């Protein structure tokens, strides 16, 4: 079912700038409640956590910015956008003074501040079921962990704000002594709190949150913990978390790959491979969910659809490198890998691909366009696109698990995880071949498998970084061949710069390497 996170109430708990104390300016906002008037009931406890989820679907998070920033910097897409922010992000030249750099930064702290508010408030609500209280606290910790994981991977040394800001000093947090290792340690601590509290699912009909499947689960927290450790090169430490998800029998691969990127609620709900996702709908409400406080007229659409679509904003297109990777292997029936048309829109009449957006192909037949997370294969209004965004899905967990297994000496078991992903799309059985590879050979194959399964899902850039490609002259040259945007890459550009307007407002804040 679609979980409604729009109805949350927002509270007056602080300010973000100094305001005059003149009584004439003390205007009551009748659309908000003061903190002392709220946090009394179980429903209000749920609403304050719902507000955190709501922050995931604004422009600064998964509605557009997280996918766009991450996909722009990989070698699977190129940007042709007239928007200076997207072009500068794609070719690693974005300056800290570019005003739109702050969109994601503010989006992250929207979620973090709401999580802090929830954690501070829920414990003092007396009229609440104790088990529900624990589940809500677990969700708040998970969402804060997820957001700090994203924030540090995009902006590096962001300030750690772990309490509700309540005074002039706390409004100006410092990051001067904060490293990514510090932030990762906090993410791990938050995930440990979440793992202790989150359920496997929300299938108990006696619970007030029964059936609300978009909420964080134990599987989501274990998956993110494994990913956190993998990103730090701790393969041994990541293994038990991935194992718990893979062996839980809760998740499986969706039979039809294309169904993963459908806006049909029936197909979305039937998908056994979704672990955690951002919920979007096909609502036609008048207020767009770019940001700010939601209203009863809020739309909840995914802006990736018009941003990536060749028939709309057309800000990105697939590189020839991605096209070649997706065509590298055919199925056992000598057909095109079914992940190709789900990912790339091409005019290939020899493969039966002659449609675009629900009608005869009307775009340049010599060009390739992005299909994934757009309505390229179905048609429809991109500004009511309801495709849920996969934050964690089972195929990614299987491939991360395989990476950890290979790097801890168990390449045969790793090969079986890779083949499991391949089997879903009817590719040849090469498990025995992969099992005989040395680590270097296996990792080269895994690189290809992750591209074909997970391309244009905001993950490739992080694979490139953690595998050391940016620091290896030969690999960097390959990236430049794959995507000419890498021609202007420099070693201090592994992160987006801390926004200059944040540095100007906060005297305790310093920039990262990209600000230099």
What is the reported pTM? 0.94
Nearest to 57 by CA among 307, 297, 280: 280
Q: Residue ranges of the alpha helices (H) in 270-308?
A: 304-308
**How many other C-beta atoms are found inside a 10 Å radius of the C-beta of residue 419?**
21
**CATH class of the domain defined by 11-307+493-515:** mainly alpha
Token pair listed for 250: 């809760």
- Output phi, psi for 152, to 5 deg: -75, -30
Q: Per-residue pLDDT for the chain (516 aa), expressed as one digit of tens each? A: 456 554 444 443 332 332 233 333 333 444 555 555 668 899 999 999 999 999 999 999 999 999 999 999 999 999 999 999 999 999 999 999 999 999 999 999 999 999 999 999 998 898 899 999 999 999 999 999 999 999 999 999 999 999 998 877 788 999 999 999 999 999 999 999 999 999 999 999 999 999 999 999 999 999 999 999 999 999 999 999 999 999 999 999 999 999 999 999 999 999 999 999 999 999 999 999 998 778 889 999 999 999 999 999 999 999 999 999 999 999 999 999 999 999 999 999 999 999 999 999 999 999 999 999 999 999 999 999 999 999 999 999 999 999 999 999 999 999 999 999 999 999 999 999 999 999 999 999 999 999 999 999 999 999 999 999 999 999 999 999 999 999 999 999 999 999 999 999 999 999 999 999
Please tell me the predicted confidence (pLDDT) of residue 2: 54
**How many other C-beta atoms are found inside a 10 Å radius of the C-beta of residue 464?**
21
- Distance of alpha carbon 394 from alpha carbon 392, whole angstroms: 7
Non-local CB neighbours of 209 within 8 Å, separated by 6+ positions:
46, 132, 135, 202, 215
User: Beta strand 77-79 with 369-370: parallel, antiparallel or unpaired?
Assistant: unpaired
Residues in the chain: 516
- Distance of alpha carbon 27 from alpha carbon 316, whole angstroms: 46
Q: Residue ranges of the alpha helices (H) in 327-410?
A: 339-343, 394-407
- Distance of alpha carbon 190 from alpha carbon 184, whole angstroms: 10
SS3 278: strand
Nearest to 282 by CA among 266, 308, 264, 257: 264
CB 261 within 8 A of CB 378: no
Residue entry with tokens 């089997």 = 423
- Distance of alpha carbon 80 from alpha carbon 93, whole angstroms: 15
**Where exactly are the structural domains of the chain?**
11-307+493-515
CB 182 within 8 A of CB 156: no
CB 472 within 8 A of CB 414: no
N- to C-terminal Cα separation, the chain:
47
CA 162 to chain centre: 21
CB 395 within 8 A of CB 273: yes
Q: How far is CA 219 from CA 107, 244, 393, in A?
A: 25, 8, 10
In the chain, helix, strand, coil percent, each to 5?
Answer: 50, 5, 45
**How many other C-beta atoms are found inside a 10 Å radius of the C-beta of residue 375?**
24
Running DSSP on this structure, what letter comes out for residue 387? P
- Distance of alpha carbon 298 from alpha carbon 8, whole angstroms: 12
E runs forming strands in 58-147: 77-79
Running DSSP on this structure, what letter comes out for residue 202? S
SS3 417: helix
**How many other C-beta atoms are found inside a 10 Å radius of the C-beta of residue 28?**
8
CB 363 within 8 A of CB 356: yes
Nearest to 484 by CA among 368, 304, 321: 321
CB 213 within 8 A of CB 202: yes
Token pair listed for 464: 């490139």
Please tell me the predicted confidence (pLDDT) of residue 123: 85
CB 269 within 8 A of CB 213: yes
Residue entry with tokens 């989006």 = 107
**How many other C-beta atoms are found inside a 10 Å radius of the C-beta of residue 89?**
27
């Amino acid at each position: 079912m679609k979980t409604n996170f729009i109805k949350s109430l927002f509270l007056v708990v602080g300010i973000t700038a100094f305001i005059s104390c003149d009584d004439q300016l003390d205007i009551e906002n009748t659309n908000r409640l003061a903190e002392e008037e709220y946090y009394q009931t179980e429903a209000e406890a749920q609403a304050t956590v719902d507000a955190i989820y709501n922050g995931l679907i604004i422009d600064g998070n998964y509605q557009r910015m997280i996918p766009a920033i991450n996909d722009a910097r990989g070698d699977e897409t190129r940007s042709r956008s007239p928007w200076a922010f997207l072009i500068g992000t794609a070719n690693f030249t974005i300056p800290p003074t570019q005003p739109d750099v702050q969109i994601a930064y503010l989006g992250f702290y929207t979620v973090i501040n709401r999580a802090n508010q929830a954690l501070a408030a829920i414990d003092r609500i007396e009229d609440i079921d104790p088990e529900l209280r624990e589940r809500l606290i677990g969700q708040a910790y998970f969402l804060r962990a997820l957001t700090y994981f994203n924030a540090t991977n995009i902006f590096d040394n962001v300030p750690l704000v772990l309490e509700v800001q309540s005074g002039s000093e706390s409004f100006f947090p410092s990051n001067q002594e904060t490293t990514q290792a510090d932030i990762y340690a906090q993410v791990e601590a938050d995930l440990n709190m979440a793992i202790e509290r989150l359920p496997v699912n929300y299938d108990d009909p006696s619970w007030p949150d029964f059936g609300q499947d978009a909420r964080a689960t134990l599987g989501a927290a274990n998956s993110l913990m494994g990913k956190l450790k993998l990103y730090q090169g701790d393969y041994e430490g990541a293994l038990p978390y991935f194992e718990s998800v893979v062996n839980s029998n809760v998740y499986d691969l969706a039979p039809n790959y294309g169904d993963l990127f459908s806006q049909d609620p029936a197909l979305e709900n039937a998908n056994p491979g979704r672990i955690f996702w951002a919920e979007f709908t096909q609502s036609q409400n008048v207020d767009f969910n770019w940001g700010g406080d939601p209203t009863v007229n809020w739309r909840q659409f995914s802006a990736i659809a018009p941003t990536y679509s060749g028939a709309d904003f057309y800000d990105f297109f697939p590189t020839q490198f991605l096209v070649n990777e997706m065509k590298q292997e055919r199925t056992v029936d000598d057909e095109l890998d079914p992940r190709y048309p789900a990912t790339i829109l091409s005019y290939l009449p020899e493969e039966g691909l002659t449609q675009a957006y629900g009608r005869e192909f009307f775009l340049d037949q010599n060009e390739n366009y992005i299909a994934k997370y757009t309505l390229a294969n179905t048609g429809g209004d991109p500004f009511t696109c309801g495709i849920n965004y996969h934050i964690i899905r089972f195929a990614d967990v299987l491939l991360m698990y395989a990476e950890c297994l290979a790097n801890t000496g168990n390449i045969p078991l790793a090969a079986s995880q890779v083949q499991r992903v391949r089997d879903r799309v009817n590719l040849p059985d090469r498990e025995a071949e992969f099992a005989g590879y040395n680590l270097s050979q296996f990792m080269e194959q895994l690189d290809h498998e992750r591209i074909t399964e997970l391309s244009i899902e905001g993950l490739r850039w992080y694979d490139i970084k953690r595998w050391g490609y940016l620091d290896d002259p030969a690999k960097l040259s390959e990236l430049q061949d794959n995507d000419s945007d890498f021609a202007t890459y420099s070693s201090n550009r592994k992160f987006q710069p801390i926004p200059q307007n944040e540095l100007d407002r906060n005297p305790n804040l310093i920039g990262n390497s990209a600000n230099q």
